Structure 1
Amino acid sequence: MSFVIRKLNNEQNLGQQLRAMRLELNITLPDMARKTKIRKVFLEAIEQNMFDRLPEPLYTRNLLKTYVRVLGGDIDYVLNRFEVERGTCDFTKASRLPRKRTRAAAFFTPARFVKLAILILTVCGIATYLGFQVRSITAPPQISLVEPADGFTTNQAVIKIVGKTTQNSTVRVNGEEILLSKDGAFETEVALERGLNLITVEGAKRYSRPATIYRRVILKQEQAALEKAFGG
């Protein structure tokens, strides 16, 4: 025999209506538990309208569907009454937003958005700082070569190399390391060959790429020959 809950006493709450239907069908609570595979404690909570003793709303709705199906009642009516008597409105309908979207909206509150923005800015700031530090460490040192000028022509068989570089750098002139002053200044001498001489000045820091400067210096052949002939 099928019953429709709407025909029962509307002054009764949902649990009372369901219990009345069960008793009218002469179904005991243990029998209902066997038929529905629902634990007796949950059936008692449903019939006593004690929703706080029931599982999550989604699971409870499934319990109610199974319960009402056995009684032959109106499932939609029972679910609507359940939502009303729970005093909530999270029952999903086509005209309402999906629960997942509601949770996403709840997650992105203004306070959380501000915290997330601060976190992103902090991470970006740290990354930028570290990037500058790495770039500073790996960047080649600056070398300023005071003399000689490129293309310089001289009658002297020995020429001075004068310049300045970044502190704590290593400088090599034609492959030979030279000493630096505390402020990075350096000075050394290079013996020239007759004709065109290519002087290489290379500077580097501990973990940096090298910086290289080239100078072309010309020693006049006539003067070089005289110096050699008369012993300089």
Structure 2
Amino acid sequence: MAHTFRRTEIGIYTTVSERLKHSRLERSLSLDQCAQSTDIQQKYLRAMEESRFDELPGEMYARAWVRRYAQLLELDIEDLMISYTKERGIRDKMSTASKQKTASPNAFSIWSWFTGKRVIILLVILIIISYIGFLAYKTISPPAISMDLPARDFRTQENSIIIRGQTERGALVNINQQPVILASGGAFEQEIALQDGLNTVTIEARKKHGLGVTHEYNIIKSALPVLQETGP
């Protein structure tokens, strides 16, 4: 059976929970009595008196039960509901801000982890691409070659001349379109027969799967003695 009490408003208790609890105590009612009269479990009545509205089954139940409890205690229902709405708005904002503060470090940590991992992956990819590019350049670029010859347009009375040079190991070298065998370090040496007059020696070096480089030297075989320059 529902209890009937005279209407009383307590001004010094500002929150909805304080007003509910004080009104119940003012009437010397226990939570068990109120639970029987309102058909609301004691744990939910206690939650409402302690401002733990989030523990109620939902906002719809919370508003309905606050109304029912206020009606039992003969409080101004409309005024109480206005206060409840304001309090819930403030409480929801505070709860949201708290959750954001709590979640922000985790979100930052996760983002930092993904960002750091992404940077590492990009660096690894760049290193791999750079290495592949370096290998490709080394594969297709012409081999370096150096020659050990007196000078271009060299004159001699000899019937032959020895061509010496140095290139990269594994390169293919031709002298006057004839293949030359390289030493283990890339050095090569080849004797070339000379004819009277102008002789053009063409030295080609290339990599197996790459580009090549060509050097040409003019050697003049003279039947007359080669005059050596002397000082005054």
| TM-score normalised by the chain length of structure 2 | 0.50
TM-score (norm 1): 0.50
Larger Rg: 2
